[in-house]
Structure 1
Amino acid sequence: MSSRIVIFGAGGRAGRHAVAEAVSRGHQVTAVVRDVAKYGDLAGDGVSVVAGDVTRADSVAEVAAGHDAAISAAGRLDVPADEFYVSAAHALLDGLGRVGVGRLVLIGIGTTLEVAPGVAVHETPGFPEEGLAFSLGHAAELDVLRAAETEISWLVLAPPPVFLDAEAPRTGHYRIGGNQVLPAAEGETTFPYSDLAVALIDEIETPKHHRSLTAVAA
């Protein structure tokens, strides 16, 4: 059954793969970017490109009206991570709630997954200082989602803390479940954005995980 899916951050690597996967399954996609002029190549059969701001509830509501589900692949490096992801979480819950979009799947980051009960990857000894603020921003976003009183069924999908490959071919296979880092498959050193997109759209079509940080891996 075809759905209308609004994808925030559609111009990035994760967003582009999510758009492609959704369209390949017959869904109608609204690709939300900050500057339409930069991402005209996204437009095509089944895809409309619109300008929007994921950190403003009014903007979220405007572009999401009439959709069945939302994906957030948005990110910015020119704004402090905690500021951006917290603002986006509040705006998404508010804006989507206003227009009755009941499913939200966000792309998380593997460094917020646990390596032991209560211990995130970014809390382990020797974690690179340069990556800490970005990971803590994602963790703050998750705190907002968990604390929210909302009817929206949200899910944060976190790929493994390995190199995410934008060029690797889609296999259609992945493992999913829990908030701990999934044991690496033999020889696994990367994870394809294309397979992350498969997991994203699967959770839109057949929601199985709700209100959680959930790991996905090859």
Structure 2
Amino acid sequence: MVITIFGATGQVGKRAVYQALAEGHTVRAFGRNVDDLIDEDLRNHNFEAIKGHVFDEADVLHAVTGSHAVLSTLGGSFDGIDKTRSLGMKNIIFQMQRAGVKRIVALGGSGVLNVENGTYLMDAVDFNPQFKAVSLEHLEAYLLLKNSSLEWTFVASPNILDKDKTGKYITNADYLPSPNNREIAAGDIADFMLHELSNNKFVHQKVGISRL
């Protein structure tokens, strides 16, 4: 499979790059600062590092054209001013539609998961207020996907630990998984996202994830 990975130099994205290559996929790693990945071009003919900006239409169209699927691990600040997650997702969706690429697995935050009263987790009284602004960004990205024609999956992550894959994690559609330990290794998120690209278990759904 040819996979375009946005946010390829972040905690999750970089691990997704290496795991995808190890599994035999062809990887197109996209980001503004991919210089530290360039050496991979010399060692692996299945890898291409693409330097570009996620807001740039031509850059993103080039990155997705010819790919079978997209994995987005876009990040940014938590201040609510940085619109990388929402505006970046808007451009990715548009360029995927132009290029005829249908499948995307995108990373966001757990604040967009449902709670039993029909609202979002970020609206709960015990939700950490410092994450409210970024959760609204995640919500906008999620709604853009939900209202698109793409075959999307939105991974709603709790606190991300800068650790490699353990293989010990649990997922649940729409709601927090149980048990919920409110954290997950970056390598485990990458592992789940890559497998979901192929398994298609949660198409048109958001997914909660947690370490066991």
Which TM-score bucket, shorter chain as reference?
0.7 to 0.9
Query: Is the 1:90–1:144 Cα contact (8 Å) retained in structure 2?
Result: yes
Is the aligned partner of 1:183 residue 2:178?
A: yes
Query: Is the 2:9–2:34 Cα contact (8 Å) retained in structure 1?
Result: no
How far 1:211 sits from its partner (Å)?
Answer: 1.6
Separation in structure 1 between the aligned mates of residue 196 and residue 115 of structure 2, nearest angstrom:
24
Q: Aligned letter for 1:213?
A: K
Separation in structure 2 between the aligned mates of residue 81 and residue 112 of structure 1, nearest angstrom:
18
Query: Closer, same or farther in 2 for the Cα pair 1:41/1:77, shift >3 Å?
Result: farther
> What is the aligned counterpart of 1:193 among 154, 161, 186?
186
Query: Is the 1:177–1:216 Cα contact (8 Å) retained in structure 2?
Result: yes
How far 1:146 sits from its partner (Å)?
Answer: 1.8
Query: Closer, same or farther in 2 for the Cα pair 1:62/1:176, shift >3 Å?
Result: same
How far 1:36 sits from its partner (Å)?
Answer: 3.2
1:31 is paired with a residue whose SS is: strand
- Give me the TM-score of the superposition, normalised by structure 1: 0.85
Query: Is the 1:82–1:133 Cα contact (8 Å) retained in structure 2?
Result: no
Q: Which residue of structure 2 lines up, in the alignment, with residue 216 of structure 1?
A: 209
Paired residues in the alignment total: 209
> Which stretch has the larger CA shift, 114-123 or 85-94?
114-123
Q: Which residue of structure 2 lines up, in the alignment, with residue 6 of structure 1?
A: 4
Query: Is the 1:11–1:42 Cα contact (8 Å) retained in structure 2?
Result: no
Query: Closer, same or farther in 2 for the Cα pair 1:208/1:81, shift >3 Å?
Result: farther
Is the aligned partner of 1:30 residue 2:28?
A: yes
> Which stretch has the larger CA shift, 139-148 or 23-32?
139-148
Query: Closer, same or farther in 2 for the Cα pair 1:174/1:40, shift >3 Å?
Result: same
How far 1:38 sits from its partner (Å)?
Answer: 5.2
How far 1:114 sits from its partner (Å)?
Answer: 2.2
> How large is the RMSD of aligned CA atoms in angstroms?
2.2
Query: Closer, same or farther in 2 for the Cα pair 1:54/1:117, shift >3 Å?
Result: farther
Unaligned runs of at least 5 residues, structure 2: none
Q: Which residue of structure 2 lines up, in the alignment, with residue 66 of structure 1?
A: 66
1:55-100 per-residue CA deviation (whole Å, 9 max, x = no partner) reads: 3333211111111110110122288457332212221111011112
Q: Aligned letter for 2:3?
A: I
How far 1:16 sits from its partner (Å)?
Answer: 0.8
How far 1:173 sits from its partner (Å)?
Answer: 4.0
Q: Which residue of structure 1 lines up, in the alignment, with residue 107 of structure 2?
A: 107
Matches within 5 A, 1:52-131: 52-77=52-77, 80=80, 83-131=83-131
Unaligned runs of at least 5 residues, structure 1: none
Separation in structure 2 between the aligned mates of residue 120 and residue 189 of structure 1, nearest angstrom:
16
> What is the aligned counterpart of 1:156 among 150, 154, 162?
154
Q: Aligned letter for 2:59?
A: S
How far 1:40 sits from its partner (Å)?
Answer: 3.6
Is the aligned partner of 1:165 residue 2:161?
A: yes
